[in-house]
Amino acid sequence: MYTNADSLKNKFNEFTVRISDYDPHIICVTEVKPKHMKDNLTEAEFSLKENGYNMFPLNINNNIGRGMLVVTGQVCTARQVCTPGQVSTKLRQVYTPILFY
């Protein structure tokens, strides 16, 4: 499941309903933060742990970019990795190897 949220905070309830309806294994959300962010956001505001999902956030709780989430379900064994030589927090990608069992 993929969506460009253009601010997920005000759509989070609808987002969780769709997740309940479709039960996706992998979810990617871009533009999590609003264009003109006034308040700092926390990763906990977008947690789906109680629904059985693991979250891999990128630039949610800082002022870099608009933020991105990669979320994996219970059928996936996933972990976030850094590419060799990755030193900048300004990178706009998340690499998540996914092993299905």
- The model carries a pTM of 0.79
Mean of per-residue pLDDT scores for the chain: 83
Residue 70 has pLDDT above 70, yes or no: yes
**pLDDT the model gives residue 17:** 94
**Which sequence spans correspond to the domains of the chain?**
2-100
Distances (CA, A) of 55 to 32, 34, 47, 72, 85: 13, 19, 7, 7, 23
Per CATH, the number for 2-100 is 3.60.10.10
pLDDT digits (tens, 9 = 90+) for 38-56: 778 899 999 898 888 988 8
Mean pLDDT for 70-97 is: 68
For residue 13, report the phi and psi dihedrals to the nearest 5 degrees.
-60, -45
